[in-house]
Chains A and B, each alone.
Chain A
Amino acid sequence: MFEFMTPALVYVAAAFALPFIPNGRWRQFLMILTPFAGAALFWDLPHGTYGNFNLMGMHIGLMRVDALSYIFGLGFSLAALMVVIYAWHIRDTIQQVATLLYAGSAIGAVFAADLVTLFIFWEGTAIASVFLIWARRTEGAYAAGMRYLIVQVGSGVILLAGIILLYRDTGSVAFRAMELGDAATWAILLAFGIKCAFPLLHNWLHDAYPAATVTGTVILSAFTTKLAVYALARGFPGTEILIYVGVAMALFPIAYALVENELRRVLTYALNSQLGFMVVGIGIGTPLAINGAIAHALSSIFYQALLFMSIGAVLFRIGSSRASDLGGLARQMPWTALFCIVGGLSIAALPATTGFVSKSLVLSAAGYGGLYLVWLALIAANAAAVLHTSIRFPLSAFFGPDRGLRAKEAPSHMLIAMALAAAITIGIGVYPDPLYALLPNDVAYEPYTLSHLVTQLQLVLFAALAFALLMKAGFWSARSRTILLDTDWLYRRLLASILGIVSVFGGGIWRWAVVIGQRRLDHFLSGVYRAHGPQGVLARTWPTGSMVLWIAILLGTTLVLTYV
């Protein structure tokens, strides 16, 4: 057993080796092999902490293998394999290296036994992933990447502040369940919340993901937010405030997802809403709820990636992912359309998909807990997902009026990646036992009861009817190339305007101060010049005889005064 064991190092080593391998088959094989090699490192390791050492008195554990880290490690490894296959055509070394470092950092973070290791990999995901946005190589992408980086690194800095405070208070940096209360735990929760896209901390998600490259968006969708869900499940299970935060997360993005024109951004809002389910589960904190949150995080990696991959394939072939530019592509890209529908059905939690077997756990936990308002909110969010993602999303891209777009089906490697995600989505949906067996809490749960099946089908059917009625009423008839303002307007426009006004006023005050100061300085200098200048009193040269005369007068005066 070597000292520095963590699957992240496999990814880091591969990322460093990659640029030295000719860009072609060998490099692609290395990328494909990396997730397998990373997974092999923990695949059959007994539970325990590996890679232990002391760092300045702090106990560091690079790899903790337990049920929670194992299931996320496995999920992330599968996701890494999926995105590497999807990005098989990429010859851009920066994107290849960033992909491996990003996936490796995410996997390293879920295995971290201490907060210092978590912090290092936490920042690793931020720094590696921004290159997937910058790889678009446009001015807009550069700006979006900078905003993303500021938020993500900011989350890391807040996490570091929390860790320092926690270490000062407790003398330990172990990453374990925490009781929310002091500044340290609030800072850590805030850091997790930024990465999890809590309400009002969510803008980076909708700003940055649609700005990335075709494959970059898919890769980004798989790791960052799920890592935050893992961190919340590990650090704050049963923290009540998360229930209300989760409900707000589930509901708040829906209105945006219903009317947003950019379909990759529709998916980020849908993803944000699904994260709400997971956060609610963590907040409830019962064994069933925690299982639900984790199962839903895992299942959403794949169905969400399926949706992102399908619109990515459309973008790859058509050059746009705006609803206003698309339509009628199902005949030309039938497989992509089919995979998109599978992802859409899963987000709706239709039976025989992973969404059904994972979302049911969270809903049941809310039900068993008697949280009827929470339950009603989540049911409403589930119904809305049918509208904005299950129906509107594929309808906008693949069905509806033919806009004369002519494109080839997605390349075979993209189809293979989508097929892999679809197989997981349906396979686990039909036979959820392998997923349930990996969950950390031993809770017997049967999703396929008659009651569940009928009520969920009923919900989906009525939501579809609502979609049809709204469509008939012309709700989605106005397809225009527009954007919707979100709360990032506060800092992108309002704060910028305020800073502009402050700059104008500040500039005026500065110029006035400079003029006044200049006058005072001139006045002072002319006074000095009068005294010390060539004609000044103090600069005159006096004859030695005058000096002697004055001294004689002074001494004479002193003599007279002495004897008077």
Chain B
Amino acid sequence: MTGRNWILLLATLCIASVLADLAYDKHGYFAFEHLPGFHGFYALAASVALGLVALALRALLTRDLGYYVPASTDAEDHPATDLERETADV
């Protein structure tokens, strides 16, 4: 399934969940929770907002793997003695 189709499927399910909100008596803790689809739209807005913050963070704080070398494992290969690499044909 392509990315576009995933978005369409998810959007359809999201709309269905908002419509479901209208079909029952919602018991929320706050008045604003009773807005149809509040949880969903808030989650969408918060996720996108946090994503944008993360984008800014990545732009500012990204460094090469070797930045803290040698006092860091970031650039090290994991020691082979701790691994059991077994390959398989699929």
Contacts and interface: CB of A to CB of B under 8 A. Distances in A.
Interface of A: 89, 135-141, 143-144, 210-211, 213-214, 254-256, 258-259, 262, 315-321, 331-332, 364, 366-368, 370, 372, 375-376, 379-380, 382-384, 386-387, 406-409, 411, 449-451, 454-472, 475, 480-486, 492-493
Contacts of B17: 454, 457-458, 461-462
A262 B74 contact: yes
B86 A138 contact: no
Contact of B83 (A210, A315, A459, A482): A315
B44 A138 contact: no
A483 B84 contact: no
Interface in B9-56: 10-11, 13-14, 17-18, 20-21, 24-30, 32-33, 37, 39-44, 46-48, 50-51, 53-55
Contact of B63 (A136, A143, A316, A485): A485
Contact of A384 (B6, B50, B64): B50
A387 B46 CA distance: 11
Contacts of B41: 462
Interface in B45-86: 46-48, 50-51, 53-55, 57-58, 61-65, 67-86
Nearest to B7: A468
Contact of B47 (A256, A366, A463, A483): A463
B42 A376 contact: yes
Contacts of B63: 482-485
Nearest to B18: A458
A480 B24 CA distance: 47
B54 A465 contact: no
Contacts of A383: 42-44, 46-47
Contacts of A467: 47
B24 A258 contact: no
27 contacts: A136-B82, A138-B79, A140-B72, A256-B57, A317-B85, A366-B29, A372-B32, A380-B42, A380-B46, A382-B43, A383-B43, A383-B46, A407-B85, A450-B24, A451-B24, A455-B28, A458-B40, A459-B43, A461-B40, A462-B40, A464-B10, A465-B44, A466-B47, A466-B51, A468-B10, A472-B3, A483-B74
Contacts of B64: 482-483
Contact of A458 (B37, B71, B80): B37
A138 B76 contact: yes
A470 B70 contact: no
Nearest to B58: A259
Per CB-CB distance, the 7 closest pairs between chain A and chain B, nearest first, are A367-B29, A466-B47, A140-B73, A380-B46, A383-B43, A462-B40, A143-B71
A382 B29 CA distance: 17
Contacts of B3: 468, 471-472
Contacts of A482: 62-65
A466 B65 contact: no
Contact of A315 (B61, B78, B88): B78
Given A375-B30, A384-B47, A454-B17, A140 B7 contact: no
B72 A214 contact: no
A472 B51 CA distance: 13
A493 B71 CA distance: 11
Contact of A386 (B21, B47, B58, B61): B47
A483 B65 contact: yes
Contacts of B24: 450-451, 454
B64 to A, nearest CB: 6
Q: Which of B32, B33, B71, B74 has the most CB of A within 10 A?
A: B74
Contacts of B73: 136, 138, 140-141, 144, 210-211
Contact of B51 (A143, A366, A475): A475
A275 to B, nearest CB: 18
A465 B44 CA distance: 7
A368 B29 CA distance: 6
A290 to B, nearest CB: 18
Contact of B90 (A370, A406, A455): A406
A484 B72 contact: no
B84 A316 contact: yes
B20 to A, nearest CB: 5
A213 B82 contact: yes
B85 A461 contact: no
Contacts of B90: 331-332, 406
Contacts of B85: 317-319, 407
Given A372-B30, A451-B27, 7 more contacts: A140-B75, A259-B57, A367-B30, A449-B27, A451-B24, A466-B51, A468-B10
B86 A317 contact: yes
B84 to A, nearest CB: 6
Contacts of B75: 140
A455 B50 contact: no
Nearest to B68: A492
A399 B46 CA distance: 25
B70 A139 contact: yes
B53 to A, nearest CB: 5
Contact of A332 (B48, B84, B88): B88
A241 to B, nearest CB: 23
Q: Which of A255, A331, A332 has the most CB of B within 10 A?
A: A255
Contacts of B84: 89, 316-317, 411
Q: Which of B42, B47, B58, B80 has the most CB of A within 10 A?
A: B47
B18 A408 contact: no
A469 B51 CA distance: 11
B51 A364 contact: no
Q: Which of B10, B26, B51, B69 has the most CB of A within 10 A?
A: B51
A258 to B, nearest CB: 4
A469 B58 contact: no
Contacts of A318: 85
Contacts of A211: 72-73
